[in-house]
Amino acid sequence: MKPERKTTPGIESTTDSLRAQLTNLKLSYLLEHFESLTQQAAAEQWTHIEYLARLIEGEAHRREDRSIQRRIGLARFPVLKTLDQFDWVWPKKINRPQIQNLFRLRFIEENANVIFISNVGLGKTHLSIALGHTACLHGYSVLFTTAMDIINTLSAAQTHGNLKRELRKYLQPRLLQIDELGYLPIDKHGADLLFQVISQRYERGAIVLTTNRAYKHWPEIFNNDSTLTSALLDRLLHHAETVLMKGTQTVFDRQPLAGRIRRVIQRYAKSDLDLPSLDADLVNDEA
């Protein structure tokens, strides 16, 4: 029979005091592991610095994990998606290197935008969520929402005199993800509210937006208001990369260059809302 391990009253008192202090400081990893690591340190002859470093490293990792989970929760993703889960075979045409490069997240640092355009069911929302999830893992604050949810929330806030406070919710995150633009028509009041969000984030925060409508059809989304649509596109596309995905009965082409997009906008404003179908010019679809 092994003899019972004896501890002196002084050591017990110190240990109890240390537990209480670690609890008050909310150092949960240290609280759970300082005794077991003490035994390991003695067995492996760690220095005091090595012992302390192991404890601090464990606490730092736990806090980082909690921060990630908190950011993911605040992002309000409808489901969690990753790039590894994406079916690259499903779209008939997709620029894989372009999309993989976006996951370096440089566009967030540059306060730029990403717009996914495709028909329904090709995975643009999946890629958007995966981008947002990756941003959370790398320490960025994210909010995922839909275009109509923004409009409904801000409209209700305006009615109750809380518009500025609610606007901040969409302006504060480093990355705002707007899903499903174009699925439902938006009246002038709603368009004005959405414009406020996009305009105030211009060069201040990144946006990832998904839509089933080509740029030349956006006026139809906004009650055929060509002036507002052109202003919104101007702010959205000035610093932006467009990801075009081709599926059944859809023809898209890639155009990430901001300068060319500006020329498209200029032609768009002069062409009775009908963009020419040019290989280098973003959109050629049936949507």
Sequence spans of domains, the chain: 9-74, 76-284
**pLDDT single digits (tens) 13-34:** 788 888 888 888 888 877 888 8
Average pLDDT value for residue range 267-278:
40
pLDDT at 112: 97
pTM for the model:
0.74
Q: Which of 26-30, 131-135, 275-279: highest mean pLDDT?
A: 131-135
Q: What is the CA radius of gyration of the chain?
A: 26
For 218-268, what is each residue's pLDDT tens digit? Answer: 999 998 999 999 999 999 999 999 999 987 643 333 344 445 445 545 544
Contact 94, 88 (CB under 8 A): yes
The per-residue pLDDT for 273 is 38
Q: What is the mean pLDDT of the chain?
A: 84
Query: CA–CA separation, 266 vs 132, rounded Å?
Result: 31
In terms of CATH architecture, what is 76-284?
3-Layer(aba) Sandwich (3.40)
Tokens of 183: 């699925």
SS3 for the chain, per residue? CCCCCCCCHHHHHHHHHHHHHHHHCCCHHHHHHHHHHHHHHHHHCCCHHHHHHHHHHHHHHHHHHHHHHHHHHHHCCCCCCCHHHCCCCCCCECCHHHHHHHCCCHHHHCCCEEEEECCCCCCHHHHHHHHHHHHHHCCCCEEEEEHHHHHHHHHHHHHCCCHHHHHHHHHCCCEEEEEEECCCCCCHHHHHHHHHHHHHHCCCCEEEEEECCCHHHHHHHCCCCHHHHHHHHHHHHCCEEEEECECCCCEECCCCCHHHHHHHHHHHHHCCCCCCCCCCCCEECCC
CB atoms inside a 10 Å sphere around CB 141 = 16
- 137: tokens are 């893992």
Average of pLDDT values for 68-81? 96
**pLDDT band at residue 36 under the 50/70/90 scheme:** confident
